[in-house]
Structure 1
Amino acid sequence: MHDLTTVRTNSTAATTHVVPPKILKALPDEPNKDADPFMVSFSESDPDNPKNWSSVKRWYLTGIAGLLVLNATFASSAPSALVPTLMDEFGISREVGNLMVSLFVAGYCVGPLIWGPLSEQYGRRPVFILTFFVYMCFQIGCALSKNIASLLVFRFIGGTFASCPLANSGALIGDIWDAKRLGIASAIFAVAPFAGPGIGPVVSGYLVQSEVSWRWLFWILTIFAGVCLLLIVFTVPETFQPVILVKKAQKVRRQTGNERYYASFETRKLSFAQQMENILARPFKILFNEPMLIAITLYMSFVYGCIYLLFEAYPIVFTEGHHMGAGPSGLTFLPLPIGGVIATLVYIAFFNPRYERKIKEFAPKPVPPEYRLEMAMLAGPFFAISFFWFAWTSFPSVSLWVPLASGLLLGCGVCWIFLSLLNYIIDAYMVVAASALAANTVIRSIFGAVFPLFANQMYDRLGAQWASSLLGFVALAMAPIPFALSRYGPALRVRSRYAPTDQSISRASSPV
C-alpha cells in the first residue's frame, strides 16, 4: 500500500487510468502489488503524514495541546476564591457557591463521550474550533449573568465544551509522535492538567483582593479562550490520519477524474445505533468487564477528587488558620504544579530512558504494560505521605512553609500516578484504549465534581488534621493497586476480552 496509486491497467475493465505528472512525483518506484491499487495511503516519507512533520512543528503542536488543557483546567478552579463574594451578592450558601467549581467539572463527565468520537469521525481540528467557540461564548454569558441560576447553568455547559482538550489533546499528541518520542511529549503535556487547577485560585484570589468585580474573572477566561481559538484556527492543522487520507483521496479523484480512488476510512459505514453504542455503551461495557480497569479508575478518580477537594481544604488551613489574604492564599496552590514540573523532569531524565531500554530488550515485540507501573509504585506512597504531612503540620502554630512544602510531594505523586496508569491503559487495551480512557475520564470527573461538595462538612466535623489524615489512610489503602497489577496483570490480561496479550512473554511481563 502506498501514497497514491501509480498508472495501472485494470484487466477487468481493460482501461488505463493516467495520473498527472505532478502526482507521479510523489509515488514510490516499487509499488506494492498486493495492495488495492485504488486505495490511497501514506508512503514512508510522505510529508502529509503528521509523524513526518518537522520536530519544531510537532513540538509547537504539543505545546498548543498542553495550552488547551491548561485553559480548561484553569477555568475549572478559577472561581474558587470568588465563592465568598458570590455568597454576599446573591445571598447563597457556601454549598451552592461551591457548585461553581463542581458543575464545571461535571461537564467533563459529558463532554469526552461526545468530543472524542466526533473527532474520530470528522477530525480533531473542526471539533476543537467548534467547542472553543461555544466555550468562549458561555464565558461571556457567565460575565453577563444577572443571577446565580444562569451562572451555574452556563458553568455546566461551558465545562462540557471546555472538556474537549481532555479527550482530544492527548489524541493529537498520539497522532504526531512515534512510540519512542511519545513518552517525553506526553510527560510534558501531563503537567497541564495539574498546573491549571493550581493557577486558577491565584488569579481569582488577587482579583478579590483588588476588590474588582467578580465578572472580571470571566472576561479574563473569555480572552484566554478567544486567544486559544485564534491559535487553533490559524496554526493547528488536521492531525487525524484517516481524515487526512480522505482529503488526499478527494484530491486524487479531482486531479485524475477517476472516482475509484478512495481512503479506507470512506468505506467505514456505521448505523446511528452503532455510533451510539460506541459513544455511550462501549466505554462502560469495557469498564464493568475489566477488573484491571475498575481498580485503575477507582484509584485515579480518588486522586483526581482529592485535587479538587484541596480547593476547600487549603482556604481552611491557610486563609482561616494563618489569616492570609485572598491573593496570598491563592499562591498556596502553586506547589502542586511545581511538583508536577519536578516529576516531569525526573521522568524525562530517569524513567523514560529506562523504558526505552525495555523497548530494545523486547523488540520486535511490544513492552508488556506492567513496565509502565514503576512510577505508580513509587508515587502511591508519596501521595499518601503528602496528606499525613499536610495534616499534622496544618496547625496555626506551625510555620505555613511546612504544610506548603507537602504540596510539592503531592504534585509529584499525582503526576506520576496519572502518567503511569494512563500509559498502562493505552498499552493494555490498545485498539479499545479510547473507550477505556473515556470511561476512566467520566468516572474521574464525577469524583472531581462531588469531592468539593462535602469538603467543608468533613473538615468542620473532623478538623483539618483528621480530615486530611482520612484522605491519607484511603490513599495508603489504594497504594498497593499498582503492585497488584504488576503481579497479577499478565494473568488478568490473558483472560481479558479486551486486552490482547502475547502469552509467550506473559511470564516475563512483570517488572517486580
Structure 2
Amino acid sequence: MAPSTEPDQDPDFWAPGTVVIADRDQLINGAILHPTPTDDPNDPLNWTTLRKAVNFTLVSLYVLLTFVQLDIGFTAWEQMQGELGFSVDQLNGSAAVNYAGLAVGCILFIPFAYKYGRRPVYLFSALLQFVGCIWFATTENLGDSYGSNLISGLGGAISETIAQMTIADLFFVHDHASMNGWYLFSTFTGAYLGPVASGYIVESQGWRWMWWWCVILFGINLVLILLVFEETKFTRVLTGSHEVGPGQDERNESTDTSRDKHPQLQQVSSTVQLDSQPRKKSYRERLAWVTKTDGSMLHDFYQPVVVLFTFPAVAYTAATFGTLLAWFAILISTQSTYLFLPPYNFTAVGVGLMNLAPFVGSLPGVFFGGYLNDKSIVWLAKRNNGIYEPEMRLWLALPMAIITPAGILVFGLGLNSGASWPILAVGLGMFAFGLTVAGDVALSYSMDCYHDIVGNALVGVVFVRNVLAVVVLFALTPWTNAMGLQGLHIFISVVCFVVLLIPAALLVWGKKGRVATRTAYMKMSQQQPTARDFS
C-alpha cells in the first residue's frame, strides 16, 4: 500500500524516527547497502566476512568475560565472610563501588574511543580488568575489596557502549539486529553462566582461584586484542565525485523536500568515488595504537547528560534500564545472602546454579524482544500506509508490566516463606524474561527515535542505571531490616509495574515529544564525531 500523501503537508508529521518503509522490500537487494561503503579497502564495511567475524568474535569474548567478572563475586561471599570477616553490608558496599565504577567509567572513556579509536580503549579496558582480577585474588581487607571492585567497574564500564559502536563500524544496517543479538547472547552467557562455573571453582579450589582463573582468561583476551583486534574506526576523505546510483532519479536529485522525508529511498543506493584507489594497510598499520580524529572531544563528556534530560525516549530508556538493573541487583544480593541459610543451606555451587533460571528465561526474551518485535513493526507500518512510527515497538513492552513484577513477587515472597527452590527459579526466570524484552524494546525505541546520537544516549542510560544500582545496594541492608523481605519485594514490584507502564503514555504522547525535540536533536546530531554521512 502506498504511503498517504496527506501527512506530507504537515511539517510536524515527520518527527525524528518517522520513516516510510512501504517499499522497502522492493528496494533492498544484494546491491543496495546502507551506510554506503567507500572504494577504500581499509573501510571496515568492505572487509571480508571472515575478517569481520574474527574482529567481532574478539568483541563478543571481551563482553562475555567482562560480565563474568562483574557477576561472579557473590558466589564467594560465604567463604569471604568466614575467611576475611566481611559482613553482608560490607559486601553489598563493595558491589555498590563496582557499580559506581561502571557509572563513571563510561563517561570518562567513551569520548576517547571517538577521539583516538576503539582499539586503544579496548586494550585499556581489558588491562584494567586484568589488574582488577589480580587485586580480587589477593584481597586481604575491606580496602582491597573496595579498590578491586572500583578498578574492575571502571574497566568494564565501556562494554555496553563500545560494542554497539563497533557494530556500527563493521556492519550494514540490515545486519545490526543480528549483531546486537550476538552481543546480548554474550552478555547473558557471562552474567548468568559465569556464576555457575564460579560456584564449582569456589567449592573445589577456593574463592581466590575463581579470580585467578579470571586473570588467566583476561590475560589471553588481552593478548588476542593486542595481536589480532584491528581498529574499526574509519574516517573517509572525499576527494572525488558523488555518483548517482540506480535507486535515484532526476526528481529525487532535485526535490529537497522529498529527500528530507524519504532519505532511505534516495541515499542507500549511492556510491562514493575517490580519485585514486587507496593502498591497503599493512598488518602493523591495522594494529595501530591510536587512530586520532581532529577536533575537540569536550562536548562528548557533557552531552550524555544533556541528552538524558532533553529527549523523552532516552529518559524512558534510562528509567527502564536503571530500575530493572536495580531490581536485578536486589534479587542477586538477597539470593546470595539467604540461600546459604536454612531452610536452603545451599553451597556456592547451588547458588551459582540458580543462575541457570534467569539464563533460560532470557533466551526466549531475546527472540520476543528482538526478532518478533522487528516483525511486528513491519506489520504495523503496512497497516499505517507504509509509515513507521517508533512507538509501534512499544506494544510488546506492555505485557512486561505484568510479567516482570510477577517474577519479583514469586521470588521475593517465596524466599520469605521458605518456598522450594524451583519456585524461586521460576520467579527469576520470569523476571529475566521481562528484563530482556522490556530492555530490548526500550533500547530499540530510543535508537529509532534518535539514531544519530545513540552513542552518547547510551552513555547516559548506562550512567543512570548504575547510579541507581549503587544507591540500592548501599541502602539494601537497612532497607531490608526496616521493611522485611516481603515488604521489600512488594514495594519494588509496585515501582517496577509503574515504570514499565511508561510505554502506555508514550503510545499517546511519544510522537509529540519527538516533534518538540526535533530542533535540539538536529543541533546535537551535527556535533557527533561520526565518520559517515547518513543524511
What's the TM-score, normalizing by structure 2? 0.74
Alpha-carbon distance between aligned partners in 1 of 2:431 and 2:210, rounded to the nearest angstrom:
27
Distance 2:112 2:182 in 1: 26
Tell me whether 1:82 sits opposite 2:97 in the alignment: no
Determine the structure 2 residue equivalent to 1:470.
491
Q: CA deviation at 1:471?
A: 1.6
Return closer, same or farther for 1:91/1:54 CA change in 2, 3 Å cut-off.
Answer: same
From 318, 322, 327, give the equivalent of 2:344. 322
Aligned counterparts of 1:316 and 1:149: Cα–Cα separation in 2: 21
After superposition, residues 407-446 of structure 1 pair within 5 angstroms as: 407-446=428-467
Q: Compute the displacement of 1:315 (Å).
A: 3.2
Please name the residue that 1:175 is paired with. Answer: 169
Deviations 1:433-484 (A, max 9, x none): 2222111111111122332333344344433333222221111111211121
Q: Which amino acid aligns with 1:233?
A: L
Is residue 301 of structure 1 aligned with residue 294 of structure 2?
A: no
* 1:68 maps to 2:90: no
The structure showing larger relative contact order (alpha-carbon pairs under 8 Å, at least 6 residues apart) is 2
The amino acid that maps onto 2:83 is E
Q: Identity of aligned pairs, percent? A: 20
What is the deviation of 1:361? Answer: 8.4
Q: 1:427/1:81 Cα in 2 relative to 1: closer, same or farther (>3 Å)?
A: same
Indicate the residue corresponding to 2:251 in structure 1.
Answer: none
Give the direction of change, closer, same or farther, for the CA distance of 1:480–1:42 in structure 2 (3 Å limit): closer
Equivalent residue number for residue 353 of structure 1: 375
Kindly state the Cα deviation for residue 156 of structure 1 after the two structures are TM-superposed.
Answer: 0.3
Q: Say which of 201, 221, 234 aligns to 1:228.
A: 221
C-alpha distance in 2 between matches for 1:323 and 1:471: 26
- Quote the Cα distance in structure 2 between the aligned partners of 1:198 and 1:340: 10
Task: Quote the Cα distance in structure 1 between the aligned partners of 2:298 and 2:520.
Answer: 19
* Mapped pair 1:405 → 2:405: no
User: Structure 1: 5+ residue runs without aligned partners?
Assistant: 1-40, 256-264, 502-512
Correspondence for 1:123 among 117, 126, 132: 117
Whether contact under 8 Å (2:77, 2:336) holds in the other structure is no
Distance change >3 Å, CA 356–CA 67, structure 1 → 2: farther
Structure 1 residues 43 and 298: CA distance shift in structure 2, 3 A: closer
- TM-score (norm. length: structure 1): 0.77
Aligned to 2:527: none
Q: What are the residue-to-residue correspondences of 1:379-390 with 2, within 5 Å?
A: 379-390=400-411
Residue of 445, 449, 452 corresponding to 2:470? 449
Residues 272-300 of structure 1: per-residue CA shift (max 9 Å, x gap): xxx33321x22112222334433331222
| Distance in structure 2 (CA, Å) of the matches to 1:102 and 1:474 | 21
Distance 2:114 2:506 in 1: 30
Tell me the C-alpha RMSD between the 2 structures: 3.3
Q: How far apart are 1:207 and its partner, in Å? A: 3.5
**What SS does the aligned partner of 1:393 have?**
helix
Letter in 1 for 2:211: F
The yes-or-no answer on 1:96 pairing with 2:90 is yes
Q: Secondary structure at the match of 2:450?
A: helix
Aligned residues of 1:67 and 1:192 also touching (Cα < 8 A): yes
Distance of 1:146 and 1:110 partners within structure 2 = 26
Q: Which residue of 2 aligns with 1:310?
A: 331
Deviations 1:224-262 (A, max 9, x none): 21122223223322222228999x99995999xxxxxxx
Could you tell which deviates more after superposition, 164-173 or 90-99?
90-99
Unaligned runs of 5+ in 2: 1-34, 240-273, 282-290, 524-535
Which residue number corresponds to residue 259 of structure 1? none
Q: Which of residues 91, 109, 121 in structure 1 aligns to 2:103?
A: 109
| Structure 1 counterpart of 2:325, one-letter code | Y
1:288 aligns with 2:309: yes
Match of 1:334 in 2: 356
